[in-house]
Amino acid sequence: MEKIISDRDRVRLDNFLKEKYPDYSRGYFQRLIKNGFVKINGKRSESGHKIHIGDIVEINFSDKERKILPSQIPLEIIFEDDDLIVINKQPNLVVHPAGCHQTDTLVNGLLYHCGGKYFPFLVHRLDKDTSGVIIVAKNEKSKEFLSRQFQNRNVEKKYLTIADGIIKENYGIIETPLGRSREKRKKIVVGSASKKMSKTFFNVIERFKTATYLEVKPYTGRTHQIRVHLAYIGHPVIGDAEYGNRSVIADRQLLHASQIKFMHPSSKKKVEFSAPLPADFKSALRALKNEKNNFNL
């Protein structure tokens, strides 16, 4: 059973769940709702029911969870205790089983790691091609405590990325409404009718001949937010085929969740964890530095 406190107002229940769990189809949630596996404030509801801010939405994924099998996947564990696990997620790894990815996801690897002692609860997600730090709760209490911090925007996140082209400003703020495309539901667009305001801060670390190395801090946590915002200002993430162009120096979007800071569920103290860059990101930086040095000769 998963529990979400709604941060949306007057949105269809099935659409709300699809937004929160983009790896699943709206039809899947409609079936769950019809069969009574989704409740609002403790009561059964319908797909077209409009939820409100503060509503408690409960989703019973128990049948789905029982079908998830453990897989021996290499995991880089940064920290682990009785409440949570912090992992440096490798690129090209889906976080949760869905579609054609049923046995090769982060959750499958965590099930193998835990040996049946607990079920791993994802309190936030990273895209398949995004690497870096991700938090996983080990019990219901920790899941609810951590989820509330994300919903209240009390979690501080930093990302590293390489953007296409030269960004002239040393720092800046990108603030636009984001929402799902009507033509392609998995794609996020600027200026959608959903009007979910999104804000991203960026600082330039280094400029190369054809690209810019950035530290990025998302104030809001919308789907694909950093990727869409950088594409919006004309500097998409290098390697991002969805919102930019494919790259000769990377076969995936070069976006890395480098740092996260939050309050620990038990100690109630702020904790901070960092994840080192993966090899392909470092290789891209070296290639760009060499290009820059050769250009300056």
Helices (H), 87-212: 106-114, 140-151
Cβ-contact 263, 156 below 8 angstroms: no
Cβ-contact 179, 188 below 8 angstroms: yes
CA atoms within 13 A on the CB side of 62: 7
Q: Say how far apart CA 84 and CA 47 lie, in whole Å.
A: 33
Q: Which two tokens stand for residue 2?
A: 């998963």
155 phi-psi bin (left φ>0, alpha ψ -120 to 50, beta other): beta
Residue 22: helix, strand or coil by DSSP?
Answer: coil
Residue 92: helix, strand or coil by DSSP?
Answer: coil
Active site positions, annotated: 127
Cβ-contact 92, 129 below 8 angstroms: yes
> Could you give the C-alpha distances from 179 to 174, 189, 230, 255, in angstroms and in order?
15, 6, 15, 21
Q: Say how far apart CA 149 and CA 123 lie, in whole Å.
A: 10
Q: Say how far apart CA 195 and CA 193 lie, in whole Å.
A: 5
> Could you give the C-alpha distances from 261 to 75, 175, 235, 258, 267, in angstroms and in order?
21, 22, 27, 11, 14
36 phi-psi bin (left φ>0, alpha ψ -120 to 50, beta other): left
